[in-house]
Amino acid sequence: MIAHICLYKLRPEITPERLEEVMSLTRVHLLRVPEVLSVRTGKRTRPEEEWDWFIVMEVESLDKLIICQDDPHYIKFREEILKPTVAQQCIQSFEMEPRKDVKYS
């Protein structure tokens, strides 16, 4: 099981209201992708935090993550939601199963 974690800094023009809308649209778009098992998204709780917004997607494997990123719903999400909203990003993927060799993820 893979946790795909995305941290984002927003463009200056993104209002708190727009962020709320983006968070809702994120769930709608990503949960349409068959390979995505779950989606969590949230905003920072303190202004001094470095990242404004996050998404965590769970997928079965790294292969499924690649398939997910080629899905039309994901591409639409990336083009219509992420690109106009995000100024900077940090993306990491982690294996969540104990004792599983990551080369088989």
pTM of the model: 0.88
Q: Is 64 within 8 Å of 38 (Cβ atoms)? A: no
Which residues, in sequence order, are bridge partners of residue 56? 5, 40
Give SS3 for 26.
helix
Separation CA 24–CA 58 (nearest Å): 17
Q: Which pLDDT score is estimated for 100?
A: 66
Domain boundaries, the chain: 2-95
Separation CA 80–CA 11 (nearest Å): 14
Assess if CATH 3.40.720.10 describes domain 2-95.
Answer: no
Which residues, in sequence order, are bridge partners of residue 58? 3, 38
Q: Which pLDDT score is estimated for 102?
A: 59
Q: Which pLDDT score is estimated for 5?
A: 98
